[in-house]
Amino acid sequence: MITGASSGIGAAAAHCFAEEGASVVLMARREDRLRALAGEIEETGGQVAVVTGDVTNQADVDRAVDVAVAEFGTLDAAFNNAGQGTLGAPLHETEQAVFDRIMDVNVRGVWNCLRAQIRTMLTQGTGGAIVNTSSTAGLFATGAVAPYVAAKHAVLGLTKTAAAEYGDHGIRVNALVVGATRTDMVTSVLQEVDGLREADLVARPSSAGWPTPSRSLAPLPGSVATRRPSSREEWCPWTGLVGGLRASAVGGSAVAVSSGSGRACTGPRP
């Protein structure tokens, strides 16, 4: 089960899970994009079901879990990826509606998913793996995004608590900490700041096959060690790893796949 599956990291992760042989349930609000993604997966022989819904609505989340069990027999893994961010204003100028929406999607959404998924996994009695998407904003703070920072810290708190409570039932709960990644959400947020073009946000392939530094990170000096955003394709394999059997000893962890984002990696640049 993958939430926020209609674009970005969620869509890339859906392909990764399907390539590993998993049957996937795609959940998001944009049905047209979900259907298109499902078609791509089916063309490669994958099994997929689509649920149009909003993670802030418990009934929608419950329905997605029910579809997973009805269509494929069990719910073995989940990637709670749906989220929303914005570059707003200093804390004292941030409108209540902005705070409420960011907390609703990023925190209540994960809460709703964990409740439904864990209940089903407990009933099945065979354990499972859950991965929640957090952010480097869940590890340290920056200005103008107080609601987002608070929300992503909360995701890590929920992750660690769930891991502690249900580890002895064979249910592993972890978080992936994402840094600067080229997604629709990051693109729109950066464009809010200084009108960066789409082309500026592309990690262009170099002659060695690796993306080269992009001007998109120029407004963030010292914040990303590699000086470039990671791509969805670089990020999503970690979702499959942490959510799969190969990471069976990993629980309650915040795994950073962030291109070296974070204050621990910052310093003078040559």
Distance CA 13, CA 15 (A): 5
Predicted local distance difference test score (pLDDT) of residue 231: 61
- Mean pLDDT, residues 11-16 taken together: 90
Chain-wide mean pLDDT for the chain? 80
Query: Closest Cα partner for 249 from 165, 178, 163?
Result: 163
Which one is predicted more confidently, 1 or 230? 1
CB atoms inside a 10 Å sphere around CB 39: 11
Which pLDDT belongs to residue 34? 98
Name the catalytic one among 17, 79, 111, 148. Answer: 148
- pLDDT tens digits for 110-129? 999 999 999 999 999 999 99
* Whole-structure pTM value: 0.80
Q: What is the pLDDT of residues 63-88, one digit of tens each?
A: 999 999 999 999 999 999 999 987 67
What is residue 203's predicted lDDT score, i.e. its pLDDT? 37
Is the per-residue pLDDT at 8 higher than 50? yes
State residue 258's pLDDT score: 56
Which amino acid is it at 66?
A: D
pLDDT band at 59 (very low <50, low <70, confident <90, very high): very high
Mean pLDDT (whole number) for 92-113? 96
Q: What pLDDT is stored for residue 106 in this prediction? A: 98
What average pLDDT score do residues 175-189 get?
Answer: 64
Residue 28 has pLDDT above 90, yes or no: yes
Q: What pLDDT is attached to residue 142?
A: 76
Q: What is the pLDDT of residue 66?
A: 99
For the chain, list the domains and their CATH numbers: 2-262 (3.40.50.720)
Q: Please say if 166 is a catalytic residue.
A: no
Residue 23 pLDDT exceeds 60: yes
DSSP 55: T
- Residue 218 and residue 225 in contact, taking contact as beta carbons nearer than 8 Å: no
Weakest-pLDDT range from 52-66, 100-114, 227-241: 227-241
Q: Which pLDDT band, with edges at 50, 70 and 90, does 137 fall under? A: confident
Give the sign of the dihedral formed by CA 63, CA 64, CA 69, CA 71: positive
Inter-residue contact 149 to 142 (CB < 8 Å): yes
> Average pLDDT for residues 146-169, to the nearest whole number?
96
- The predicted-structure confidence for 221-232, as pLDDT tens digits, reads as follows 345 544 555 565
